[in-house]
Amino acid sequence: MDSTDVQAVMDVLVSEYLTQGPMVSSFEADLASKVGARYVTAVNSATSALHLSCLALGVKPGDLVWTTAISFVASANAALYCGAEVDFVDIDLDSFNISAQCLEEKLRQRVATGQPTPKVMIVVHMAGQPCEMKKIYSLAKEFGFSIVEDASHALGSVYSGSLTGSCEYSDITVFSFHPVKMITTGEGGACLTNKPEIHAKIQRLRSHGITRDVNEMEFEYPGSWYYEQLDLGFNYRLSDIQAALGQSQLKRLDEFVQKRNEVADWYGENLREDQVVKPKIYEDRISSFHLYVVLLANSNERKVTFERLRSNGIAVNVHYIPIYRHPYYKRMGKYNPLDFPAAEEYYSRCLSLPIFPGISESQLKQVASIISEPIGHQTIF
């Protein structure tokens, strides 16, 4: 936060609107022009945005939605909210993203055995590095599924010259504005699309399924007091207070991406190759570096390094536990960890190191020096 963020929020507090009003529209317009999408709907979280995306793509009970095995649970929960069935695709150990190759194999195998293929695929740009979208997009055309990009990590990233959010290779892109993400509104998210019919549906579902547009109405329009509820929608609105913060933060997005990339470069130059596997940087992509994930040699080493950094006050983390490992998903009894060898391997060895625009070189040196202490050199607790 800087003083311009604070001032932007204060200005709304003394204005005419508090909840969704002119600031929300203004923030949506700025976001649309920033990433090159035609339509933006700001909502109260990325979780809500994912839910609305699934609904707008017609996901209903009995449908199949696929996502990556390694993500925050919200990527999969959105499909369950619609009564759909969820299945996972294994990741690629170089990018930590969904493996386009595993996706293709899984799709072909389903068709060969006469089983249904997904209606919607939710891909996640893990840590801010875009997925192999051209490959996934061509599979979508061949197998007839829609694509939602869960770009909660990836505002400001670029894939093959195309800005994440432009929806060049998807139906809908979702961003999160949770405080840990690239920019924040406190809580918040957005759905971006280039398709007017999807946009209209998302707009309505954000606010109870209600329309005030005469052209959308089913019954005769009796007068200007009148509105109609056409769908069972929700209250997923963002407030003007939050939108003002988001708009102010968005102005500094490029600077945030730049600084996070400088931190990633620092780790790249200063962490030792023989101690951690560093994230692969792809020529055709610019990562937003929401996370900096390294792989330790083995799970035992990860645990020791994790505890050692935490006991020194360094807030490392593990992103993420494979979704199918959570009790809620395990209870469904239909996921077998053996089907996801790369996700299992990743989960046993991954460690997210501190990365944020304001991190100092001395803090980075401290992280690197603790990581470089030989395992077994220090007694934990």
Ligand X SMILES: *Cc1c(COP(=O)(O)O)cnc(C)c1O
Residues that bind ligand X (CB under 6 A): 45-47, 71-72, 74-75, 124, 150, 152-153, 176, 178, 189
The pair of structure tokens assigned to 139 is: 């599979």
* In the complex, minimum distance from the CB of residue 172 to ligand X, in angstroms, rounded to a whole number: 13
* In the complex, minimum distance from the CB of residue 358 to ligand X, in angstroms, rounded to a whole number: 20
Distance CA 352, CA 372 (A): 16
Residue 99 or residue 176: which is nearer to ligand X going by CB?
A: 176
- CA atoms 294, 340, 180, 309: torsion sign: negative
* In the complex, minimum distance from the CB of residue 281 to ligand X, in angstroms, rounded to a whole number: 20
Strand residues in the chain grouped as ranges (E)? 39-43, 64-68, 85-89, 120-124, 146-150, 158-159, 162-163, 172-176, 189-193, 210-211, 228-229, 276-277, 285-286, 292-296, 350-353
Helices 341-349 and 299-311: angle between axes, nearest 10 degrees: 40
Which residue is it, tokens 């990018």? Answer: 95
For 124, half-sphere exposure in the C-beta direction (CA atoms, 13 angstrom radius) is: 30
Residue 103 or residue 271: which is nearer to ligand X going by CB?
A: 103
- Taking CA atoms, 228 is separated from 57, 205, 207, in Å, by 22, 12, 12
* In the complex, minimum distance from the CB of residue 177 to ligand X, in angstroms, rounded to a whole number: 6
Residue 153 or residue 260: which is nearer to ligand X going by CB?
A: 153
* In the complex, minimum distance from the CB of residue 124 to ligand X, in angstroms, rounded to a whole number: 5
- Taking CA atoms, 78 is separated from 55, 150, 323, in Å, by 9, 11, 13
Contact 240, 20 (CB under 8 A): yes
Distance CA 191, CA 362 (A): 38
Residue 34 or residue 153: which is nearer to ligand X going by CB?
A: 153
Residue 5 or residue 150: which is nearer to ligand X going by CB?
A: 150
Residue 75 or residue 146: which is nearer to ligand X going by CB?
A: 75
Residue 63 or residue 150: which is nearer to ligand X going by CB?
A: 150
* DSSP code string of 138-176: HHHHHHT-EEEEE-TT-TT-EETTEETTS-TT-SEEEEE
Residue 37 or residue 43: which is nearer to ligand X going by CB?
A: 43
* In the complex, minimum distance from the CB of residue 300 to ligand X, in angstroms, rounded to a whole number: 27
- Using the CB atoms, write b or e for 57-81: b if 16+ within 10 Å: bebeeebbbbbbbbbbebbbbbbbe
* In the complex, minimum distance from the CB of residue 131 to ligand X, in angstroms, rounded to a whole number: 12
* In the complex, minimum distance from the CB of residue 50 to ligand X, in angstroms, rounded to a whole number: 6
How many Å from the N-terminal Cα to the C-terminal Cα in the chain?
A: 35
